[in-house]
Amino acid sequence: AQSVTQPDIHITVSEGASLELRCNYSYGATPYLFWYVQSPGQGLQLLLKYFSGDTLVQGIKGFEAEFKRSQSSFNLRKPSVHWSDAAEYFCAVGEYSSASKIIFGSGTRLSIRP
Amino acid sequence: DTAVSQTPKYLVTQMGNDKSIKCEQNLGHDTMYWYKQDSKKFLKIMFSYNNKELIINETVPNRFSPKSPDKAHLNLHINSLELGDSAVYFCASSQSPSTDTQYFGPGTRLTVL
Q: What is the mean pLDDT of residues A88-102?
A: 81
pLDDT of B1 strictly over 70: no
Confidence of residue B59 (pLDDT cuts 50, 70, 90): confident
Confidence of residue A97 (pLDDT cuts 50, 70, 90): low
Residues 6+ apart with CB under 8 A from B44: A104, B35, B36, B37, B38, B58
Three-state DSSP at A61 gives helix
Q: What is the mean pLDDT of residues A73-91?
A: 96
Q: What is the mean pLDDT of residues B79-96?
A: 94
pLDDT of A106 strictly over 70: yes
**Which of A104, A102, A89 has its CA nearest to residue A39?**
A89
In this predicted structure, what is the pLDDT of residue B106? Answer: 92
- Closest residue of chain A to B47, computed from CA coordinates: A101
Domain boundaries, chain B: 4-112
Instruction: Please answer yes or no on whether B99 and A43 come within 8 Å at the CB atom.
Output: no
Instruction: Please answer yes or no on whether B56 and A49 come within 8 Å at the CB atom.
Output: no
- Strand extents, DSSP E, B15-102: 19-25, 31-37, 43-50, 53-57, 64-70, 73-78, 87-94
pLDDT of B103 strictly over 60: yes
In this predicted structure, what is the pLDDT of residue B100? Answer: 75
**Which of A54, A60, A50 has its CA nearest to residue A92?**
A50
pLDDT of A98 strictly over 60: no
Other CB atoms within 10 A of residue B63 CB: 13
Q: What is the mean pLDDT of residues B29-55?
A: 91
The CATH classification of domain B4-112, taken from the options 3.40.50.300, 2.60.40.10, 2.30.60.10, 2.60.40.3620: 2.60.40.10
Q: What is the mean pLDDT of residues A28-39?
A: 88
Could you tell me if A27 lies within 8 Å of chain B, comparing CB atoms?
Answer: no
Domain boundaries, chain A: 3-113
pLDDT digits (tens, 9 = 90+) for A21-32: 999 998 877 788
Class of domain A3-113: mainly beta
In this predicted structure, what is the pLDDT of residue B15? Answer: 97
- Closest residue of chain B to A49, computed from CA coordinates: B101
Confidence of residue B105 (pLDDT cuts 50, 70, 90): very high
Instruction: Please answer yes or no on whether A104 and B44 come within 8 Å at the CB atom.
Output: yes
